[in-house]
Amino acid sequence: MASATYPFTAVVGMDDMRLGLLLNAISPSIGGVLVRGEKGTAKTTTVRALSALLPEVHTVTGCRFSCDPAAPDPACPDGPHEDGAAHAPRPARMVELPVGASEDRLVGALDIERALGEGVKAFEPGLLAAAHRGVLYVDEVNLLGDHLVDSLLDAAATGSSSVEREGVSVRHASRFLLVGTMNPEEGELRPQLLDRFGLTVEVAASRETEERVEVVRRRLAYDEDPAAFAAKWAAEEETLRERITAARALLPDVRLGDGALRRIAAVCAGFEVDGMRADIVTARTATALAAWAGRTDVTAEDVRQAALLSLPHRRRRAPFDAPGLDEDKLDEILRQFEDDEPEPEPDPEPEGPQDGPGDGGPGDDGPGGGEPPQGADGPGTPDVPAQRESQENAPAQQEGSAPEAQGGQGGQERPSEGGDAPAAAAADPFRTRKLDVPGLGEGADGRRSRARTAHGRTTGARRPRGALSKLHLAATVRAAAPHQRARGRSGPGLVVRRDDLREAVREGREGNLVLFVVDASGSMAARKRMGAVKGAVLSLLLDAYQRRDKIGMITFRGAGAEVALPPTSSVDVGAARLERLPTGGRTPLAAGLLQAHEVLRVERLRDPSRRPLLVVVTDGRATGGPEPLARAARAARLLAGEGTASVVVDCEAGPVRLGLAGELGRELRGPVVTLDELRADSVSALVRTVRNTSSRRAA
């Protein structure tokens, strides 16, 4: 294990990420920074390096909530603290919130040991208290449960944490630098949660050969002798630490004039961001930029740079919209205010962390000889990322969304089955009816199906099955109370034995694996018809995104079926694959169902607690090979026999209908809905719960 932290000034490149972190170190009221990027781009390394730069903090001796002796929290649970209370300095903490942490671990909870042993209500602080006046780091924040994200973002926004649970009512200060990192390939944060982060930066590995060489050179030197490497950069680290301290001291004197405020308001209004949080965060960021540059006036360039950090993620209105900001439009808006008021002369010192100490400027004697700093998360060359899926901000509008009537006698296959048809754009998505899996599961937290979860409403109590997960205090007391005389209790308190312990049984919602099996054959290839089908699947993808599901996609056409998208949490990738989905050829329905069976088999081995929901989008026709309908029916019965919850979206249209999708639904033992019935505002009757005769996973 390394004995020294990788130096912040030794990080090569990553200018936006380093600047965002430094601005939050200067002004934590900005609200933190979310770092989005591919794996192996020094996200974790840089965050850990920043914590070593923060100045020491003085805390009241014995206070578990790190109260500042100069201004102690009057509501501190360990207070009140007297004037002149003993205090001592300590390094600023970096507290890491693991993805699997419980809510009790984050916000704190009743101290069960003292409650049972001493009969007092005592509060056990959580990670929000430990992070006060330090850094709270959440790696893979997009995989964190929504209830945890809500709690920590509320604390970051208000500067305090309130706990009301199990008879405990506590409020304590909780001001910290919030840093979240995520890989977008693992799924996006909801727009509501994105908005709660002050700044967002995108990072990617450099494609410049010399820069990548310098990354490897520095990382290998650090791994060989961490202490010597850190010592080589100690002077640069100390200079940067002093600059952060000076900027913090200057921050209260920075003037945010009316001209700067008008620019900020015009930019936020011009990009149509929701609410007022964007204006406030941009103002705080611009002020911190001025302090970082050693100025007391906010310039137009400060506003521009602040907008580039604070607005891109707030422009993401729809879940499939990619974050970003049109810089030409930004400059056009700012040019309208060029003559409003004279701007102060810019500071001769360049702005931004890349111009600070240890960044290769004149006199920099650190390793790299003037190379711009950047680091790596691990030894060796940073990972080359998989190419990101291209996305459009909005699907193309079709002339009509109704399925096109099919030609031919008796609904026969269209001639287009002989070859590929051009890919049709998806019609506009709509709000869909809720489909869920029957029974009571135990999968990952989500919003689709009923499940036993660690969170949610308490529905009862039971004896622990293994390690005690969540104590049901009232049930435990009731179980222990009748035995107190026999146990010789002679004073206050309660004698509790292991047999008395009861854990809470809670019911919430789980996310499912929604596996789409999409018919892309020639019978679906009519342009308007396929556009409507893609619009329906896009709507279901949007629903899966909002309900925190994993999704997968199988398409079948021509001679067989293929996995267009392996199960993933990134529905953005699913939407991109759907947009480019080719159509044409015959209809190998059985191949599509069998491919779904294999995908579900493998996924059960990887994640046995996540229950699947199979959504088959087809008109029910089956062609190609011997007995295509009989083979499709056998494949459907195979899925039904394993208890897979299914729903068939019937895409058949026109005056002559064969009802083959209905036959498929009966074989799958699931409901059949039409495209019109899938809409949440449809007046047609819809089976609201996917029925499944198997009770394999039922409560």
d(CA 272, CA 435): 34
pLDDT band at 559 (very low <50, low <70, confident <90, very high): confident
Tell me: pLDDT of 660 over 80. Answer: yes
- pLDDT tens column, 459-516: 888 888 877 777 787 888 888 888 888 887 777 777 888 888 888 888 888 889 999 9
**Least confident stretch, 94-108, 316-330, 385-399:** 385-399
With H, G, I as helix, E, B as strand and everything else as coil, classify residue 180: strand
Crossing angle of helices 300-310 and 15-26, rounded to 10°:
100
Residue 635 token pair: 């494949």
Residue 528's pLDDT is what?
Answer: 65
Superfamily (CATH) of domain 254-355: Magnesium chelatase subunit I, C-Terminal domain (1.10.8.80)
Rounded mean pLDDT of the chain?
79
* Cα–Cα separations (whole angstroms), residue 484 to 116, 314, 419, 474, 479: 13, 59, 81, 16, 10
Which residues make Cβ contacts (< 8 Å) with residue 645, sequence separation at least 6?
Answer: 437, 438, 611, 612, 613, 614, 670, 690, 692
pTM (predicted TM-score): 0.66
With H, G, I as helix, E, B as strand and everything else as coil, classify residue 101: coil
Residue 119's pLDDT is what?
Answer: 58
d(CA 567, CA 586): 26
Q: Which residues are catalytic?
A: 277
What CATH class has 432-439+511-678?
alpha beta
d(CA 7, CA 230): 6
pLDDT band at 382 (very low <50, low <70, confident <90, very high): very low
Tell me: pLDDT of 389 over 70. Answer: no
Residue 339's pLDDT is what?
Answer: 64
- pLDDT tens column, 634-650: 999 999 999 999 999 99
pLDDT band at 250 (very low <50, low <70, confident <90, very high): very high
CATH (residue range 8-100+131-237): 3.40.50.300
- For the chain, residues classed under CATH 1.10.8.80 are 254-355
pLDDT band at 279 (very low <50, low <70, confident <90, very high): very high
Residue 31's pLDDT is what?
Answer: 85
Residue 225's pLDDT is what?
Answer: 92
pLDDT band at 304 (very low <50, low <70, confident <90, very high): very high
**Least confident stretch, 140-144, 171-175, 285-289, 313-317:** 313-317
Backbone angles phi, psi at 394, to 5 degrees: -150, 140
Inter-residue contact 360 to 373 (CB < 8 Å): yes
Residue 195's pLDDT is what?
Answer: 79
- pLDDT tens column, 153-199: 788 778 888 887 666 778 888 888 889 888 877 777 776 677 778 99
How much of the chain, in percent, has pLDDT values that exceed 90? 29
Across residues 300-311, what is the average pLDDT? 93
- For the chain, residues classed under CATH 3.40.50.300 are 8-100+131-237
**Least confident stretch, 128-137, 209-218, 398-407:** 398-407
Residue 221's pLDDT is what?
Answer: 93
**Least confident stretch, 38-47, 131-140, 165-174, 274-283:** 165-174
Query: 14: alpha, beta or left, given left = phi > 0 and alpha = psi -120 to 50?
Result: left
Residue 218's pLDDT is what?
Answer: 93
Residue of 584, 645, 642 lying closest to 616 (CA atoms): 645
- What sign for the dihedral angle of Cα 264, 269, 270, 274? positive
Residue 414's pLDDT is what?
Answer: 44
Most confident of 50-59, 158-167, 394-403: 50-59
Residue 155's pLDDT is what?
Answer: 84
Q: What is the DSSP letter of 428?
A: P
pLDDT band at 399 (very low <50, low <70, confident <90, very high): very low
Instruction: Identify which has the larger pLDDT, 84 or 248.
Output: 248
d(CA 13, CA 359): 9
How much of the chain, in percent, has pLDDT values that exceed 70? 80
